[in-house]
Amino acid sequence: MITIIGNGKMALAIAKGLNGKVEIVGRDEKKLQKFCKESGVKKYSLLNKFDITNKTIILATKPYALDSLNLKGKAKEIISIMAGKKIDEIKKQVDSDIYSRVMPNIGAEFMASTTAVFGSDKAIEIFSKIGTAIKVNSEQELDIATAIAGSGPAFLALVAEAISDGGVLCGLNRELSYQLTAGLFQSFASIDKKPSEIKDMVMSPAGTTASGYESLEEGNVRSSFIKAIKSAYEKSQKI
């Protein structure tokens, strides 16, 4: 049995992705009951009565809550999804034989998370069940991956919304524009080539794509996304 401590949005996504085959631990019983109803989880416990001894724990609380957890016992493994919290910090607050850090994304609910993993084979095994788990070599790489895999869905949502709005501007109805945009993302994800190769495959000389690409470059879109990743990474270092 895997234990999730915390009952926020990411904990809910992971629990749904694992088909409710976990137990949930939190501070508020009403919120835990609501969580179980939404996720299919059958068992919950209150944090102040819970003992972590010999358990595999997914630590899914907000980073600021780490200092106030006061967990009893010694876990078999702690797998933290808390952005920016280093293993050395976690060790000071929670006792465990093994420590791992991972960063899933909201796709976990749909078995489609891209999860960066720094740590054990067990962590890779668990998060491979809800999508793709990619092992990184250091906590610094994990924090950079957080900016891409963790924050990335919000950045891509901005792109999708803008593309859809462009379709509406040109005359498509909203629902059709959304459907075409969703299909675009699915198509892109299925192409096993580097982004630059895909661009060159699509962009013909003096064509429609080249004209649109020029407009994106004029708007510094590429630079803005590079800066967004850098900003998200730097923020993770200050949490």
How far apart are alpha carbons 164 and 227 in whole angstroms? 23
Superfamily the domain 2-139 falls into:
NAD(P)-binding Rossmann-like Domain (3.40.50.720)
pLDDT at 163: 98
Where in the sequence of the chain do the CATH 1.10.3730.10 domains occur? 153-236
- The structure tokens 């109803």 sit at 37
pLDDT at 209: 97
pLDDT at 84: 87
| Closest among 103, 55, 105, 96 to 82, alpha carbons compared | 103
Q: Which helix (H) or strand (E) holds 60?
A: none
**Looking at the DSSP assignment, which residues form a beta bridge with residue 99?**
78
Where in the sequence of the chain do the CATH 3.40.50.720 domains occur? 2-139
pLDDT at 148: 95
pLDDT per residue as tens, the chain (239 positions): 999 999 999 999 999 999 999 999 999 999 999 999 999 999 999 999 899 999 999 999 999 999 899 999 999 999 999 988 999 999 999 999 999 999 999 999 999 999 999 999 999 999 999 999 999 999 999 999 999 999 999 999 999 999 999 999 999 999 999 999 999 999 999 999 999 999 999 999 999 999 999 999 999 999 999 999 999 999 988 87
pLDDT at 182: 97
The secondary structure of 125-188 as a DSSP string is HHHHTTEEEEE-SSHHHHHHHIIIIITHHHHHHHHHHHHHHHHHHHT--HHHHHHHHHHHHHHH
What is the amino acid identity at position 208?
Answer: T
pLDDT at 225: 97
**What single DSSP character describes residue 109?**
G
Kindly state the tokens that stand for 93.
């607050």
Where on the phi/psi map is residue 20: left (φ > 0), alpha (ψ -120 to 50), or beta? left
Contact at 8 Å (CB) between 117 and 134? Answer: yes
pLDDT at 237: 87
Contact at 8 Å (CB) between 172 and 179? Answer: no
- Please state, as a whole number, how many other Cβ atoms lie within 10 Å of the Cβ of residue 8: 15
pLDDT at 191: 96
Q: Note the pTM of the prediction, 2 decimals.
A: 0.86
Domain spanning 153-236, CATH architecture: Orthogonal Bundle (1.10)
